[in-house]
Structure 1
């Protein structure tokens, strides 16, 4: 469920939409359980269903109405304590990946965050494996254009504001 929710959040960029996507995915999986092929990875099958729902229903309805996009900075909340220090570089990476075009962003997520093979990513996205490889190569080139990541220097507890 967590993997589905993360992928739904990546696609929709909205927590509520991601929850709706996961719920719709579970409903569709139950309705079409007879289509599940034994031996197929369940997570890949569910991610494929979620992707299909996003393309066919939610994306068409919500994104075109302007409800499917949120500012990445508003989704990254820090408590101002040491936890923020440990997440600064991750936040920079998220912002950079978030700036990629949708097709590259979802391909990067499935391949590098979820650890799926290129073939599995191609099946989920319903594109040729060469397209997956091209999207990843283009995304890597785009990400390489950014300056190096910088960590925020640690400050003594008394110096924090």
Structure 2
């Protein structure tokens, strides 16, 4: 197996986690990951690892390139279907906390975010991408990433606080970057 193919196998779980966060549906996420990996294999000649760069997560790494492919495939799918689907099933993410209610609330709130805000929030918060890397993956200006992230965080805060009144506030979000 070539180094490129080995790296695809290594990065597949991260791609699946990201796709589940984007789509909110296990089957759609699996399809998106499969389409992403197929496209990566078909167009592997377009990916160029700069001399001295590692395969990993950096700006020159394979993961940002794969996430760019994934986001473009997702946008193409949304344009074709032209249908906004509600998040009926929650992604099965391993919980690291004992509070499953909070996990459920977070996933439901994430599912209610508009697609562009959810994509930015996942890239910056979950994947730990810098604003510049997220902008490159989504092919938008850095200012757009920053404004979408601010709106996503505020939207999540309102949803988790139980609405605009904040009377049911039981949790607070922390600024990541």
Structure with the greater alpha carbon radius of gyration: 1
Paired residue for 1:124, among 110, 130, 137? 137
The residue aligned with 1:17 is 28
Deviation of 1:63 (Å): 5.2
Paired residues for 1:22-101 under 5 Å: 22-38=33-49, 39=53, 40-56=60-76, 58-62=77-81, 64=83, 68-71=85-88, 74-75=89-90, 85-101=98-114
Task: Give the Cα separation in 1 of the matches to 2:137 and 2:27.
Answer: 22
Query: Can you give the 5+ residue segments of structure 1 that lack an aligned partner in the other structure?
Result: 78-82, 151-161
Deviation of 1:97 (Å): 2.4
Q: Deviations over 1:22-67 (max 9, x none)?
A: 11111111111111121321111111111111112x2233453x6x
Task: Give the Cα separation in 1 of the matches to 2:101 and 2:15.
Answer: 25
Three-state SS of the structure 2 residue aligned to 1:149 is coil
Task: Give the Cα separation in 2 of the matches to 1:45 and 1:76.
Answer: 23
Q: Deviations over 1:63-109 (max 9, x none)?
A: 53x6x5432xx4378xxxxx995322122222222222211111111
Task: Give the Cα separation in 1 of the matches to 2:39 and 2:91.
Answer: 31
Which contiguous aligned blocks of 4+ residues in structure 1 show a shift greater than 6 angstroms? Answer: none
Query: Is the helix fraction higher in 1 or 2?
Result: 1
| Highest RCO, 1 vs 2 (Cα 8 Å, sep ≥ 6) | 1
Task: Give the Cα separation in 1 of the matches to 2:25 and 2:86.
Answer: 7
Kindly tell me the number of residue pairs found equivalent between the two proteins. 140
- After TM superposition, the score normalised by the length of structure 1 is 0.75
